[in-house]
Amino acid sequence: MTAPRVIPHHIAIVMDGNGRWATRRFLPRVAGHKKGVDALRACVRRCGDLGVGVLTVFAFSSENWNRPAEEVSGLMELLAMALAREVPQLQSEGVRIHFVGDRTRLSEKVRSGLAQAEAQTAANTRLVFNICFNYGGRWDIAQAAAKLAAQGAQITEESLNGAMALAHVPDPDLVIRTGGEMRISNFLLWQAAYSELYFTDKLWPEFDAAALDAAIADYGRRERRFGRTSEQITAPASRKAA
């Protein structure tokens, strides 16, 4: 498979459509989440092969607690099983895992599993893999402000940025959402201020390496100006050539 020409350093993904994938096949929604783990495994591997530096995924939002109790319970069990099964492989592939979100509502068993996975992969450098679990963009901004207030620190853009839950990585270059919805659903509200957005109708279990490459290829055709004009972007290169 030919790699895209321009590779974003940080890709973030809203993995939407697991439940609909299962429903269309007359399966329980949890079956879709299990299939979604397979798609995520392939995505992590492809990102590593392409040289992506950071992959951040939205695995469980703070609003997902409002889903049916059996689905929430199934997701928690799936997370525990996935940790036991996937972490050794991720460790061998040089992937460093970070779990981002509010852990206070999670069980002691789940919290322990998250901490163990982070500790086990802490020395890896090939790919930083952020899993946003019980995460919300508004929660992130609020917890950062509360942290600074408790320290008696001045709240500025710079200090707030440093207190965010994803302060250990640069902002995402590309945000992908699968499943056909065209919104970011409280994901990385602060960090995605200048991210390129890409929406696809593919449900998450159907999102394979080719679909990821297509999203990255689309990103490569865009001009990132960060508030500047096209002339300001191209002028330095033109002067250098002259």
CA dist., res. 225 & res. 223, Å (int): 6
CA dist., res. 37 & res. 82, Å (int): 8
pLDDT at 226: 62
Three-point CA angle 192, 55, 17, nearest 5°: 80
Q: How confident is the model at residue 239 (pLDDT cuts 50, 70, 90)?
A: very low
Alpha-carbon torsion (231, 224, 46, 114), positive or negative: positive
Q: Which of 216-229 are b and which e, b meaning 16 or more Cβ less than 10 Å from the residue's Cβ? A: beebeeeeeeeeee
CA dist., res. 189 & res. 31, Å (int): 30
Position 71 pLDDT exceeds 70: yes
Query: Cβ contacts of residue 22 below 8 Å, gap of 6+?
Result: 28, 29, 30, 31, 32, 33, 35
Position 75 pLDDT exceeds 80: no
Q: How far apart are the first and last CA of the chain?
A: 37
Q: How confident is the model at residue 68 (pLDDT cuts 50, 70, 90)?
A: confident
- Catalytically annotated residues: 16, 64
CATH 3.40.1180.10 fits 10-241, yes or no: yes
pLDDT tens digit string along 158-182?
999 999 999 999 999 999 999 999 9
Position 115 pLDDT exceeds 80: yes
Q: Do 98 and 168 touch, CB atoms closer than 8 A? A: yes
More confident residue, 209 or 68: 209
pLDDT at 232: 63
Question: What number of other Cβ atoms are within 10 A of residue 26's Cβ?
Answer: 7
CA dist., res. 205 & res. 197, Å (int): 20
pLDDT at 56: 97
Question: What number of other Cβ atoms are within 10 A of residue 61's Cβ?
Answer: 21
Burial of residue 236, with CB atoms counted within 10 A of its CB: 0-12 exposed, 13-18 middle, 19 or more buried: exposed
CA dist., res. 1 & res. 210, Å (int): 8
- Entry pTM: 0.90
pLDDT tens digit string along 119-148?
999 999 999 999 998 899 999 999 999 999
Which residue matches tokens 């995505």? Answer: 43
